């Protein structure tokens, strides 16, 4: 089934059978007090509206039978996969691996590393465990997409200017057509969110296209 969604700078034309939803890093460490996001001084509660839109988007794509893939950023307990530049973040506060209210910060298996309950993956949905910002770095993500015949990606998650942006750039370089759902993405800094979206859709859609959830709904007439 052909699917045409109004977007910037031009409509996103894809096939339901070869399109996947990529839900990026909707985990407690970034969305709840006591996690990595808050340890960096951010207002994590500002992302609550994004969680609500992501929940609607997730329900819709499941109903349509799209492939759904979730990414999750986290590190090994011994910190062997953490670059020194990342480990040195937040020198005056809690760092990756330190113990916080949600367990050890950004460490796999800890409470903070779990998905926010409203967006928990189904058992049939794949999880990409990543240590970097982009979903392709150090993972089998590209192989998984190709093995499923995926050509187009709907992208949602946090944060817009970091993990979402990195993933879209990586996907574009690998030939995947990306549509970023603006209100299903978010940043602790609204100005970064808007600038990141403009970067994606500028120059004829240099990294991809940008739309919103209402346009997704309108395209299906549901």
Q: Mean pLDDT score of the chain, rounded to an integer?
A: 96
- pLDDT tens digits along 28-64: 999 999 999 998 899 999 999 999 999 999 999 999 9
Handedness of CA 47, 184, 143, 134 (dihedral sign): negative
| The three-state (H, E, C) secondary structure of 156-212, written as one string | EEECHHHHHHHHHHHHHHCCCEEEEEEEEEECCCHHHHHHHHHHHHHHHHCCCEEEC
Mean pLDDT score, 60-88: 96
Q: pTM value?
A: 0.96
Percent of the chain with pLDDT over 90: 93
CATH of domain 15-32+40-73+114-220: 3.40.50.850
Closest to 163 (Cα-Cα) out of 34, 27, 35:
27
How is the chain split among helix, strand and coil, in percent rounded to 5?
40, 25, 35
- pLDDT tens digits along 87-100: 888 776 789 999 99
Residue 1 burial (10 A CB sphere; 0-12, 13-18, 19+)? exposed
Confidence at residue 137, expressed as pLDDT on a 0 to 100 scale: 96
As annotated, the active-site residues are 25, 130, 163
Confidence at residue 61, expressed as pLDDT on a 0 to 100 scale: 97
């Amino acid at each position: 089934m052909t699917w045409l969604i109004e977007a910037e700078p031009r409509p996103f034309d894809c096939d339901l059978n070869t399109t996947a939803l990529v839900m990026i890093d909707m985990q407690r460490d970034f969305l709840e007090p006591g996690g990595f996001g808050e340890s960096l001084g951010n207002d994590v509660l500002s992302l609550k509206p994004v969680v609500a839109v992501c929940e609607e988007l997730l329900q819709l794509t499941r109903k349509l039978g799209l492939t759904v893939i979730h990414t999750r950023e986290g590190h090994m307990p011994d910190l062997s996969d953490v670059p020194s530049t990342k480990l040195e973040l937040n020198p005056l506060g809690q760092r990756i691996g330190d113990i916080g209210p949600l367990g050890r910060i950004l460490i796999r298996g800890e409470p903070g590393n779990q998905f926010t309950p409203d967006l928990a993956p189904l058992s049939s949905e794949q999880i990409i465990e990543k240590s970097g910002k982009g979903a392709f770095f150090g993972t089998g993500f590209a192989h998984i997409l190709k093995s499923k015949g995926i050509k187009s990606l709907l992208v949602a998650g946090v944060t817009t200017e970091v993990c979402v942006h990195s993933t879209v750039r990586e996907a574009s370089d690998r030939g995947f057509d990306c549509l970023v759902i603006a209100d299903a993405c978010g940043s602790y800094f609204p100005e970064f969110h808007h600038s990141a979206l403009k970067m994606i859709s500028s120059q004829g859609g240099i990294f991809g296209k940008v739309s919103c959830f209402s346009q997704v709904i309108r395209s299906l007439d549901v």
